[in-house]
Structure 1
């Protein structure tokens, strides 16, 4: 699975109105949990929350875990921000947050 393509497809299927930019924030502890927070900016500059159906979230979680695992030796991360612009340009930034990881491990 290709997380970048899956996110793009999920956005296209679940966004409404004339949008300019979408941001999806991901927090994930490898194979344990994963959450998504998405919002988009309309042409009017209004910001709206973007929700994905449960089945879409399940597929996205699998792809997040696959990407995390494939990057583990080079770049460990538990936070990511995916940005997609209307013109098709996208970016994904990755970050390691030790305090967040410690919180998850303590339960």
Structure 2
């Protein structure tokens, strides 16, 4: 699966969980802990600026594997390590993904994994 396929799969999953036609943008933020754990948050804004949270239990489970694959490809294959990501989608289909390394999060994960 290519990065483009993964991006499309994430976007499709988001759109499948937006239940109005008049939305302004949608986003998912990711905290990546390791190969077996990550945390997702997100939702979408209406054009009247109301925010509606996603109910991730309603998402296709591929959303988890999509972010794991994306992490593997972008962190290990390209060498750009990240543990936080933000995927933003517009109704036009235009999207943006920002990834970054949060050392505090990495230190927190390390502390918990050593207990």
TM-score by length of 2: 0.82
Aligned with residue 85 of structure 1, among 62, 72, 90? 90
Q: What do the CA deviations read for 1:21-64 (whole angstroms, capped 9, x no partner)?
A: 001101112303111101211021111111223662x3222221
Gaps of 5+ in 1: none
The RMSD of aligned alpha carbons is: 1.6
Does residue 11 of structure 1 match 2:14? Answer: yes
The count of residues paired between Structure 1 and Structure 2 equals: 106
Q: CA deviation at 1:72?
A: 2.2
The answer for the alignment partner of 2:71 in structure 1 is 68
Shift >3 Å, 4+ stretches: none
CA distance in 2, matches of 1:54, 1:41: 18
CA distance in 1, matches of 2:39, 2:30: 6
